[in-house]
Amino acid sequence: MQELRERIKRELEELGRQDRYRTLPHVTARRGKYIELEGKPLVNLSSNDYLGLGDERALLAGYLEQCIERGYAMTSSSSRLLTGNHPLYGELEEALAALYGRESAMVFNSGYHANIGILPALCGRHDLVLSDRLNHASIIDGMKIAEGSSQRFRHRDYDHLEELLDAAAGRYRQIFILSESVFSMDGDLADLLRLVELKKRYDALLIVDEAHGAGVFGERGLGLCETAGVVPDIDIIVGTFGKSFASTGAYAVMDNIFREYLTNTMRPFIFTTALPPAVLGWSLLTLEIQSSMSRERQQLLQLAAKLRDALIAEGFDVPGESHIVPVITGSNEKAVSLAARLRDAGFLCLPVRPPTVPPNSARIRLSLRSILEWEDISALPGLFTGGMAS
């Protein structure tokens, strides 16, 4: 035991020397555009509440009254396969399936649960998984759990993916292709049309994670798959309630046969306590509200484009084309010091460092929301210029 403690201490000290040591921020309040850390109000640029629904106090107050009237509990006390399958699950899954125009939907406790459960349930040892190199950690962990072989294609390099598909043709029982739609750290977009074309040509099964696309893209907020017009062509579309939809949990839309199979084989679904009815009802409400927020989606993407252009004009490396605006600093030290400078100026912009991103690509990740105006963030380019020069 003592040896273990000493090893852990050394590793923590090394994380500190690399500017990779993390602590939990002391959040004291959230109020619309602002978040309080240790009592200090800051413009919140580190939230995934992209449509601002999580800060709608009147909406929440009205819903909590409904919870009391309808007797929605704060716990389910059981898994869905025992006594936790509240009728609101059925309503929510039917609403999702109808919105996407698909046969079935399935709700999970989190996006992490979905991504470590769906692939391992479907993918056996005679199968192959091809995954974008910059896919989220939860997707990577799902690949590690799955019994099949796996390879990662270069980020958004679909010629490389095609080479891997060619080489694998006829050698595996089933090939799975995995990609995010909006990549969470770079804010860039997958070419879903090309992915669908390759999936059809090679008879692969395509899984797309819309965690950062749902609510932001598409007339009804279905994500980049709606914008690209490929909702019917993607075998399994994964989304989350924990970001634009301002709730808790995740979902996937799919054909009936996949839902039936996952219900019987997906371990993170079978062996976990179901979501509380109070959460399910809130998800149903926010899902309906966001579907008519196309104007807010347009405003959000226009604001992000304006900020990205202003930062690029100052000479910064700013990849992406979405509401996620990352400013690459390279070194961990620079990212940490710049985040501190921005915080002193009234902005919460947390640094992102390895292993979340590749080595030497630390960054400040600006996560924009539709409730922000240009006047709220117009000072950022100048602050970045001063911070990078210091």
In the chain, domain spans: 21-51+294-389, 73-290
Those residues whose C-beta lies under 8 Å from the C-beta of residue 68, and which sit 6 or more positions away, are: none
CA distance 335 to 364: 6
Alpha-helical (H) ranges within 220-354 are 224-228, 256-265, 267-270, 277-290, 294-313, 332-344
Q: Taking the CB of residue 239, how many other CB atoms lie within 10 A of it?
A: 32
- Residue among 171, 176, 130, 177 at smallest CA distance from 153: 130
Classify burial at 295, counting beta carbons within 10 Å of its beta carbon; exposed 0-12, middle 13-18, buried 19 or more.
exposed
Tokens of 192: 């879903």
Residue 40 identity: K
Helix or strand or coil: residue 377? helix
CB 353 within 8 A of CB 20: yes
Question: Tens-digit pLDDT profile for the chain (390 aa)?
Answer: 999 999 999 999 999 999 889 888 888 888 899 999 888 999 999 999 999 999 899 999 999 999 999 999 999 999 999 999 999 999 999 999 999 999 999 999 999 999 999 999 999 999 999 999 999 999 999 999 999 999 999 999 999 999 999 999 999 999 999 999 999 999 999 999 999 999 999 999 999 999 999 999 999 999 999 999 999 999 999 999 999 999 999 999 999 999 999 999 999 999 999 999 999 999 999 999 999 999 999 999 999 999 999 999 999 999 999 999 999 999 999 999 999 999 999 999 989 999 889 999 999 999 999 999 999 999 999 999 875 655
Q: Are 201 and 231 in contact (CB under 8 A)?
A: no
Q: In this structure, which CATH number among 3.40.640.10, 3.10.20.90, 3.30.70.1560, 3.30.300.30 belongs to the domain 73-290?
A: 3.40.640.10
What is the β-pairing status of strands 149-153 and 128-132? parallel
Distances 120 to 12, 260, 308 between C-alpha atoms, Å: 32, 15, 38
C-alpha torsion angle, residues 295, 299, 300, 302 (rounded to 10): 140
Burial class of residue 383 (count of CB atoms within 10 Å of its CB; 0-12, 13-18, 19+): middle
Report the C-alpha gap between 327 and 311 in whole angstroms: 8
CATH superfamily entry for domain 21-51+294-389: Aspartate Aminotransferase, domain 1 (3.90.1150.10)
Determine the Cα–Cα distance for residues 324 and 184; give it in Å rounded to an integer.
Answer: 7
- Report residue 234 as tokens: 């993607």
Intra-chain end-to-end CA distance of the chain, in Å: 44
Tokens of 77: 């006390």
Q: What is the DSSP string of 206-230?
A: EEEE-TTTTTTSSTTS--HHHHHT-
pLDDT computed for residue 388 by the predictor: 62
Nearest of 145, 87, 114, 143 to residue 272 by alpha carbon: 114
Token couple for 48: 């995934």
Burial degree of 264 (CB within 10 A; 0-12, 13-18, 19+): exposed
